[in-house]
């Protein structure tokens, strides 16, 4: 088998980012408010809800992929949308994987604040939107940890995207599924090259986020 | 609510439920007036913090009303102030979020507030690195930077060493005096209460049981429990006798121990005789005024500043304080016989209403 061209590598890498970054953005957009809301409140049913989120943080990606597959397949509840084996299906699966990570880490960050933190700020007469800004500022290290963890989970995930994306050349093939495919085909050099690109991508993105996180400690 | 009243409470009931159990606070009537310092005293778990949190609007009354006529901010400093991420100056500036103030006004207020509590040299330090005492000064600076009409303080000296408490209480007293802010402060420290209060409110078992001017509450507690809370530790049982010394009734403890005091109680009334330690005088001579009898020195505790003396009097231990290194404090020895005296105006009688109040 001929090695993939530079153009193909760029295409696979670009598709990987095109799937992972929207999945990350959606997970953060949904997960951060939910994490902040659950972390700062006491209500009936909170313990089972947090337990469910913690379970979701450790859910096997391949099982998540299977669940999303059943939801999107022709006879599933969302079969009419014809999303299976598309990048959108891969984004959905990755959101399901990343969301519990974002919610869980965010609510832990909020929960680590002093019990009276919100009340102390409220008694200073700080308006609600500024209190939210202060809260985000206060837990920003925890939030960045949530972003890094979610990014790592999404970028390195293979089971779910394989199940709902199918690793179709030119359509749903991303770095992880391509690595798996070339490994199974015995094209270990190509698989290794793709793995280097994947790890490099993770290093650059996580490195940038870590730099931002650690600058907050100064 | 009078014109001078900034916060008032009437027929208040607050019920709190948690996994640890339920708690109920009741207060028939309580007012905080302009330019006054109200200290809320009570044993642990009596509801002091709940009351002050209710005044701050952080607890919702189950019944009754909390009304505010304050035209300026009502703010609160918590028992364990939590520093926000960022510098000390940032922590003070947070108080201005959402408020229309110019940059120069903000800077001036931050500087003034930090100087007021002597932490201006820490302005650019990270708040998270401050000591417990510095954190309290920061919380107070932030509260005063708001220029509040009412300041609510929950145990502002808790966890500080004696020197830290003394220094902070003096700075706080000066700040209260300079700004004229009305203050309601929870404490269980009688010395701070005496230093800072104009009026005192006493809570026992979740009920507001006495409110009044500082000296009235300290010297005229209405029940035995309140007497113990406000530091009237010399408490001995007696009976109002038939004899009188002019306008004074004579209260008999036993045949040799009698106390004269003005009272409206009729002869035969069983009472607790209460004398604050600072109002009990010791003498080894015979020329004392207002004698109440002789006693034997059983304990002398000298901390270098004051000497606490325990005297066996009529089978009870009475306690008084002397200045260390002066007069009698230099020569007093254990076992010495001393004469005790107390101004009749400073002898307080509390009627014994039930057998449970008897020793």
pTM above 0.90, yes or no: no
Residue A1 pLDDT: 57
Q: Is the pLDDT of residue B13 over 90?
A: yes
Residue B207 pLDDT: 97
B127 shares a domain with B22 = yes
Domain finish residue from B168, B194, B219: B219
Question: What number is the average pLDDT over the span A152-167?
Answer: 91
B256: CATH: 2.40.50.100
B165 shares a domain with B57 = yes
B71 shares a domain with B202 = yes
Inform me whether the C-beta atom of residue A137 falls under 8 Å from chain B C-beta atoms.
yes
Question: What number is the average pLDDT over the span B37-50?
Answer: 94
| Residue A43 or A102, more confident | A102
B201 shares a domain with B292 = no
- Identify the residue among A120, A141, A215 best suited for mutation to test binding to B, counting B beta carbons within 10 A and taking the highest: A120
For residue B249, give every residue at least 6 positions away whose Cβ sits within 8 Å of its Cβ, in sequence order, or none.
Answer: B240, B241, B260, B261, B262, B263, B265, B267
Q: Is the pLDDT of residue A188 over 70?
A: yes
B279 shares a domain with B135 = no
Q: How confident is the model at residue A218 (pLDDT cuts 50, 70, 90)?
A: very low
Residue B227 included in any domain: no
Residue B225 included in any domain: no
Nearest CA distance, B38 vs chain A (angstrom): 19
B43 shares a domain with B11 = yes
Domain finish residue from B162, B194, B219: B219
Nearest CA distance, A52 vs chain B (angstrom): 22
Residue B71 included in any domain: yes
C-alpha distance across the termini of chain B, in Å: 42
Tell me which of A75-84, A205-214, B305-314, B345-354 is least confident: A205-214
Give chain B's domain count: 2
The answer to whether the complex's ipTM is over 0.85 is no
Residue B246 pLDDT: 83
B215 shares a domain with B86 = yes
B98: chain A residues, CB-CB within 8 Å: 125-127, 129-130
B245 shares a domain with B213 = no
The range of the structural domain enclosing residue B351 comes to 232-357
B334 shares a domain with B299 = yes
B275 shares a domain with B194 = no
Query: From the list B73, B85, B146, which residue is nearest A138 (CB)?
Result: B85
Residue B149 included in any domain: yes
Residues 138-197 of A with CB under 8 A from B: 138, 140
Q: SS3 letters for chain A?
A: CCCCCHHHHHHHHHHHHHHHHHHHHHHHHHHHHHHHHHHCCCCCCHHHHHHHHHHHHCCCHHHHHHHHHHHHCCCCCCHHHCCCCCHHHHHHHHHHHHHHHHHHHHHHHHHCCCCCHHHHHHCCCCCHHHHHHHHHHHCHHHHHHHHHHHHHHHHCCCHHHHHHHCCCCCCCCCHHHHHHHHHHCCCHHHHHHHHHHHHHHHHHHHHHHHHHHHHCCC
Mean per-residue pLDDT over chain A, rounded:
91
Inform me whether the C-beta atom of residue B151 falls under 8 Å from chain A C-beta atoms.
no
B87: CATH: 3.40.50.300
B240 shares a domain with B215 = no
Q: Is the pLDDT of residue B72 over 70?
A: yes
Inform me whether the C-beta atom of residue A122 falls under 8 Å from chain B C-beta atoms.
yes
Residue B11 included in any domain: yes
Q: Is the pLDDT of residue B141 over 70?
A: yes
Which domains are seen in chain A, by residue range? 16-174 (1.10.3720.10)
B240 shares a domain with B214 = no
Kindly report, residue by residue over B180-208, the tens digit of the pLDDT: 999 999 988 888 888 899 999 999 999 99
In degrees to the nearest 10, what's the CA dihedral of B212, B216, B217, B223? Answer: -110
How many CB atoms are located within 10 Å of the residue B344 CB?
A: 17
Domain finish residue from B153, B185, B219: B219
Kindly report, residue by residue over B297-347, the tens digit of the pLDDT: 999 999 888 899 999 998 999 999 998 888 888 888 899 999 999 999 999
């Amino acid at each position: 088998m001929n090695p993939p061209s530079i153009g193909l590598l760029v295409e696979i890498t670009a598709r990987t980012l095109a799937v992972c970054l929207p999945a990350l953005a959606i997970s953060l957009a949904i997960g951060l408010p939910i994490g902040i809301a659950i972390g700062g409140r006491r209500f009936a049913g909170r313990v089972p809800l947090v337990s469910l989120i913690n379970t979701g943080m450790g859910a096997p990606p391949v099982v998540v992929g299977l669940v999303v597959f059943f939801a999107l397949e022709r006879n599933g509840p969302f079969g009419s949308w014809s999303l299976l084996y598309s990048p959108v299906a891969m984004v959905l699966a990755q959101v399901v994987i990343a969301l519990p990570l974002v919610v869980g880490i965010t609510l832990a960050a909020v929960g680590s604040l002093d019990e009276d933190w919100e009340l102390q700020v409220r008694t200073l007469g700080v308006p609600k939107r500024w209190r939210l800004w202060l809260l985000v500022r206060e837990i920003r290290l925890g939030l960045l940890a949530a972003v890094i963890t979610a990014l790592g989970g999404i970028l390195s995930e293979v089971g779910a995207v394989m199940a709902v994306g199918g690793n179709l050349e030119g359509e749903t093939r991303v770095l992880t599924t391509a690595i798996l495919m070339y490994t199974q085909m015995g094209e270990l050099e190509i698989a290794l090259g793709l793995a280097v690109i994947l790890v490099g991508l993770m290093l650059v993105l996580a490195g940038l986020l870590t730099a931002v996180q650690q600058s907050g400690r100064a | 609510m009078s014109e001078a009243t900034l916060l008032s409470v009437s027929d208040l009931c607050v019920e709190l439920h948690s996994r640890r159990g339920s708690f109920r606070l009741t207060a028939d009537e309580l007012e905080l007036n302009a330019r006054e310092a109200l200290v809320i005293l009570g044993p642990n778990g009596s509801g002091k913090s709940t009351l002050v949190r209710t005044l701050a609007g952080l607890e919702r009354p189950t019944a009754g009303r909390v009304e505010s006529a304050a035209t300026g901010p009502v703010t609160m400093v918590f028992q364990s102030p939590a520093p926000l991420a960022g510098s000390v100056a940032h922590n003070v500036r947070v108080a201005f979020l959402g408020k229309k103030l110019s940059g120069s006004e903000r800077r001036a207020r931050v500087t003034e507030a930090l100087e007021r509590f002597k932490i201006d040299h820490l302005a650019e330090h990270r708040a998270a690195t401050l000591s417990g005492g510095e954190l309290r000064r920061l919380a107070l600076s932030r509260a005063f930077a708001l220029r509040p009409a009412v300041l609510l303080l929950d145990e502002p000296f808790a966890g500080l060493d004696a020197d830290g408490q003394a220094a902070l209480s003096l700075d706080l007293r000066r700040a209260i005096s300079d700004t004229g802010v009305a203050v309601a402060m929870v404490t269980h420290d009688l010395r701070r209460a005496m230093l800072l209060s104009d009026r005192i409110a006493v809570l026992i078992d979740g009920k507001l049981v006495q409110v009044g001017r500082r000296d009235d509450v300290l010297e005229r507690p209405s029940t035995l429990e309140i007497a113990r809370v406000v530091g009237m530790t010399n408490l001995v049982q007696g009976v109002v006798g038939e004899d009188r010394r002019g306008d004074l009734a004579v209260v008999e403890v036993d045949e040799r121990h009698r106390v004269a005091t003005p009272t409206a109680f009729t002869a035969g009334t069983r009472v607790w005789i209460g004398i604050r330690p600072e109002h009990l005088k010791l003498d080894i001579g015979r020329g004392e005024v207002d004698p109440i009898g002789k006693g034997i020195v059983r304990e002398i505790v000298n901390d270098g500043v004051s000497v606490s003396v325990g005297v066996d009097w009529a089978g009870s231990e009475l306690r008084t304080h002397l200045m260390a290194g002066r007069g009698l404090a230099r020569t007093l020895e254990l076992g010495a016989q001393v004469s005790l005296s107390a101004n009749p105006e400073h002898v307080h009688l509390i009627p014994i209403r039930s057998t449970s109040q008897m020793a």
